[in-house]
């Protein structure tokens, strides 16, 4: 009987420890999971072997939580794309005298989420998930530039601060408000 008690106690302690440290590891870049002894790829280029390895995730834990709430908020009303290159949302005239300069300013930037029309895949709304890094001066400059680029292009932008959890109905209300759509009663899914 005492052995069972010890096994149950240790199992409970390990389970509690797992649930306590799990969020910490979800926030890390999982570099500790990358194999230090990973084989060097055999495919060669003129500069040698390609060093690329697959990431363990596409979205950060906060982005994943937001994505789940966003899916509930928009349902089948919009397509959701994550980590979209800003240049893929914009068009620049060919005859623009400083076209390459303007292209270079947006080429390496991306936005967190884009809602698109389900039939045409036309961008309808850009959503940026703002974490603490958006308080840094260089990030604020980038945000001001992004705001202006999207305003000029005619693409609405919704900035959502990162939270521990996101409310799908509240998010739906924000999206409908920014798009100028009158709120409709939610239907059971």
Weakest mean pLDDT among 13-17, 52-56, 142-146, 160-164:
13-17
Q: Given a cut of 70, is residue 7 above it in pLDDT?
A: no
> What distance in Å separates the CA atoms of residue 58 and residue 60, rounded to the nearest whole number?
7
- Tell me the domain boundaries of the chain: 61-179
Q: Which residue has the tokens 């900035």?
A: 159
Q: Given a cut of 90, is residue 44 above it in pLDDT?
A: no
pLDDT, position 74 = 96
The pLDDT tens digits for 163-177 are: 999 999 999 999 999
What is the mean pLDDT of the segment spanning 137-142? 86
Higher-confidence residue of 97 and 157: namely 157
What is the mean pLDDT of the segment spanning 2-28? 62
C-alpha distances (whole Å) from 76 to each of 61, 102, 155 are: 23, 35, 20
- One-character DSSP codes across 9-34: HHHHHHHHHHHHHHHHHHHS--GGGS
User: Which band of pLDDT confidence, cut at 50, 70 and 90, is reported for residue 12?
Assistant: low
> What distance in Å separates the CA atoms of residue 34 and residue 25, rounded to the nearest whole number?
13
Q: Which residue has the tokens 């945000």?
A: 143
């Amino acid at each position: 009987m005492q052995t069972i008690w010890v096994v149950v106690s240790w199992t409970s302690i390990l389970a509690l420890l797992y649930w306590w440290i799990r969020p910490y590891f979800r926030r890390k870049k999982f570099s500790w999971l990358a194999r230090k002894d990973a084989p060097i790829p055999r495919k060669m280029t003129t500069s040698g072997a390609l060093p690329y390895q697959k990431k363990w995730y596409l979205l950060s834990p906060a982005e994943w939580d937001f994505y789940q709430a966003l899916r509930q908020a928009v349902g089948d009303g919009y397509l959701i794309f994550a980590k979209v290159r800003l240049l893929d949302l914009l068009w620049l005239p060919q005859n623009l005298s400083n076209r390459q300069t303007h292209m270079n300013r947006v080429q390496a930037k991306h936005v967190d989420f884009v809602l698109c029309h389900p039939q045409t895949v036309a961008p309808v709304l850009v959503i940026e998930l703002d974490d603490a890094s958006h308080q840094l001066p260089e990030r604020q400059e980038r945000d001001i530039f992004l705001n202006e680029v999207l305003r000029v292009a005619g693409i609405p932008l919704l900035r959502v601060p990162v939270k521990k959890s996101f409310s799908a109905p509240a998010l739906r209300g924000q999206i409908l408000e920014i798009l100028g759509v009158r709120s409709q009663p939610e239907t059971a899914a």
